[in-house]
Each structure stands twice: as C-alpha cells, then as structure tokens.
Amino acid sequence: MDKSCRFPFLANQGLATVVGKDGQHSLCFRGDWSIPLEIRVEGTWSHIGDPDSRQGVIFDCYQPKLAKSGKMFRSTKPDGTAQDYIHPLTAGEMLNNSFAAVSPDGQWMLSGEWGTVKRFLIFPTPVLNPAATVNPFPLAATLELDHPICNIQGATFIDPSTVLCSSDDPGTTLWPVPRQLLQVDLARPLDGHQVNGHVTCVGPIPLESTCSGTFEVEGIDYDITAGDLRILVIPPSPCGEVSVTLYHFRRDP
C-alpha cells in the first residue's frame, strides 16, 4: 500500500479510471467543486458522488435537494459532450445517489442509496446501453443483498460478478470492524434482471492521519487492467480541510 494527498474540494467525493482511445489510463476525481457551473446555477442537483468510466465515457451521479426531483446521472464522452439522464424515484427509493459503478461489459450500472440497506439499484448504462432513455431514465432491477450494509460511499467492479464497496459505517453492529471494505459476490453477472449478492467484510479501510478525530471514507476505484485499487478518505479536521488521502493498493502479479 502507498498513499498520496489530493486537494479536497476537487477530490473529496470519488474517482474513476478513464481509458483513452490510445489505451492510456488516467484518473478522474470528483469533489464538491466538481459540479459544473450550469448545474449549480440551475439549483436542483446539490451533491455529486463517486463516478465511474467505461470506454472513455465518464458517468457522474447527482442527488437533489428535494426528493420529488428524482436523481440524475450525467454521461460525458471523450469529446466533452455531456448528456443528463433524469430518473424519477420509484416507490420506496431514497433520493441519495452515492455512486455509479459500471459493469465490465459496459451495459449495466449500479447505484447506491444511504443508511442501512439490503440492495443496490441497477440501471442500463447511459450511452453504452440502448435501453438507457434520457427522461425518464429507467430503473432496470435491483441487486438484493444477503446482509445489511451501511453508508456505502463508492463501489467498483473487479470482475463481472464481484464488486468492492467502500463503507463509511462508523459502528460495529453489522461487521466486526468500522468503516469496512466490503465485497459483494453476485450470483451471476448483471443482465438487467434482479440478481442476488453475497456480502463479506474484507477488512477495515486504512485510517491514517496526524490529526485525531473522525475520518470519512469516500469513493473507490479499481483499474481492471492494471490491478490498481484506490480508496479516498477524508482525514479528521483540520487535516481534512487541506487534503484528502488516496490509498493505493496493487494486485500481486
């Protein structure tokens, strides 16, 4: 493991590996200041979450100030062209839109709510899946979990049927350790229908800082090609006001 620091307001929500047409990999970060000016001015969407990327397209997730507004996903193509996909909330769905995690084949996208839940939401991936209509943007199905999870800030696929999640759960009611790295093993790869998932706790996410107090775990990313896993953590104040910590793990050859 190694770690580095990032400017918090441009990287305190999440990150994604973006693969260009030349095959080069780069990291895309999101923070409080990453919401484009036109979205801020319009005023509906108040929070941006942990993004993901496939085939050079970046997928951002937004949640509203008011539940009646639904939630939004924005796709940004390599040429900078952006398209917004508005999803009206379904019965029982919370307004929270913490992350986007796209399946390795690019066809399906997971999204999370908040608090203690036993499911993720499954959507057709904007741009890459023809079923992804702009408005309304449809919910395809749910990923039903066999164990409750809490405060999931980010998720990323490491293969077609395995997802890693970063949790900001501060307690030990659900798992032996707080702020966990969780693994969800899917019964089968996503196909647009309901699927079940088995949840296990990999272990605690690293929390290192010269400041003492409360940490906040944020987004997570896995570069499938390189085998790089990265997790963002906001350290306690005042350290977290000047930098966020990026933890980097590399898969053994």
* Cis omega (within 30 of 0) for bond into 136: yes
Count of domains in the chain? 1
CB 204 within 8 A of CB 181: yes
Q: What is the pLDDT of residue 66?
A: 86
Answer yes or no: is pLDDT of 252 > 90: no
Average pLDDT, the chain: 96
Domain range for 49 is 2-250
Residues 103-147: tens digit of each pLDDT: 999 999 999 999 999 999 999 999 999 999 999 999 999 999 999
CATH number at residue 200: 2.115.10
Residues 38-75: tens digit of each pLDDT: 999 999 999 999 999 999 999 999 999 888 889 999 99
Dihedral angle over CA of 36, 221, 20, 11, nearest 10: 30
Which percentage of the chain shows pLDDT scores above 70? Answer: 99
Confidence of residue 193 (pLDDT cuts 50, 70, 90): very high
List Cβ neighbours of 234 (8 Å cut-off, separation of 6 or more): 8, 12, 215, 216, 217, 218, 240, 244, 245
Answer yes or no: is pLDDT of 253 > 80: no
Is 95 strand, coil or helix?
A: coil
List Cβ neighbours of 192 (8 Å cut-off, separation of 6 or more): 107, 108, 122, 124, 131, 140, 141
Question: pTM for the whole thing?
Answer: 0.96
Tokens coding 171 = 């307690």
Q: What is the pLDDT of residue 21?
A: 85
Spatial separation of the C-alpha atoms in residues 208 and 216, rounded to whole Å = 11
Parallel, antiparallel, or unpaired for β 25-30 and 14-19? antiparallel
Residues 149-184: tens digit of each pLDDT: 999 999 999 999 999 999 999 999 999 999 999 999
